[in-house]
Amino acid sequence: MLIFNGREWIGTGWVPELPDINDKNLETETVKTFLQRVGYQTLLSKVDLRRGFPPVYDQGQINACQSNACVALAEYFQQRTFGKTLDGSRMFIYKVARQLVGQYADKGAYNRKAMEALTFFGVPPEKFWPYNPAIVNAEPPGFCYAFAENFKATQSYRYDQPNVNPETLLAIVKDQLVKNLPAMFGFPLFPSIAQAHITGKIPTPDPTEKPAGLHTVVAVGYDDKIIIENRTPGCQREEGALLIRNSWGERWGDAGYGWLPYQYLLSGLTSDWWSLYDMTWLDQEQFNQPVAERE
């Protein structure tokens, strides 16, 4: 689905999906072990992981937000662990994520399936299957499926489970970000997002607004003190927001980044929170170096 972001009509593409009993989560033993080895970090008032990411992608009018977010996460962890860029094919992840559920049109995809595409098949370099609208529904060459070795130990895990309330979810997200662990998630877009095209500050919708699309982004930080206001008369100002990496190009927001009020989480408007872990990362000295800009 396309939405007007204040400057242009742009793609979205998140397809919501309920938690599954087979999802790895924060209580899964391997995830718990990974997080314990990452270590405890004191909660801060502000965290910013942007410097660990590549330049912001532009998904254009393709409904591949989840695949742009997934590859951004993979790029972040490659850079953090090995100090090198991945330059992964977002189009490959988008194609495989749809194939896993027998869906072949450009109608978006599940966050879970984008993660499965990455962890099952890896991701070829962008040069082998470029982000080109002309091939959005085409089948990648067979050799593009041969990169799984790079991610054979990488797994995905989900934050939001049926027993996790919104307040706890926000605490989890912030705790993970303090540990330099970003995550992708989905949320509904409202028409008032057009107010954010310059500043990136997405306002909490007023009660009369209806969702106009569904979108996946990456949470890369937060700020407890930032103020965001919906310019519609009668709306309240919100304090505190997540720093998000969007996929609408660097002309949107703050060089492609924006802010989503905590109220979105506290109102239950976000879901499908996913991140990556790999026990082998912990053996790399660079992985344990700080990434976040903190206060």
pLDDT tens-digit readout, 91-143: 999 999 999 999 999 999 999 999 999 999 999 999 999 999 999 999 999 99
User: In the block, which residue shows the tokens 């492609």?
Assistant: 256
CB 266 within 8 A of CB 170: yes
* Domain at 222, CATH number: 3.90.70.10
- Tell me the percentage of the chain whose pLDDT exceeds 70: 98
**How much is the mean pLDDT over the chain?**
93
Domain that holds residue 93: 2-294
Q: What is the mean pLDDT of residues 170-196?
A: 96
CB 289 within 8 A of CB 283: no
Number of domains making up the chain: 1
Instruction: Give the separation between CA 200 and CA 189, rounded to whole angstroms.
Output: 13
- Residue 61's contacts (CB-CB under 8 Å, 6 or more residues apart) are 2, 9, 10, 11, 133
Residue from 219, 222, 213 nearest 274 by CA: 219
Instruction: Give the separation between CA 161 and CA 18, rounded to whole angstroms.
Output: 9
The yes-or-no verdict on residue 169 having pLDDT over 70 is yes
The pLDDT value given to residue 19: 87
**223-255 residues labelled b (16+ CB within 10 A) or e (exposed):** beebebebeeeeeeebebbbbbbbbbbeebbbe
Q: How far is CA 245 from the centre of its chain?
A: 7
148 pLDDT tier (thresholds 50, 70, 90): confident
Task: Please compute, for residue 65, the number of CA atoms within 13 A of its CA located in the half-sphere on the CB side.
Answer: 31
Phi-psi region of 231 (alpha: psi -120 to 50; beta: other; left: phi over 0): alpha
Q: What is the mean pLDDT of residues 13-29?
A: 94
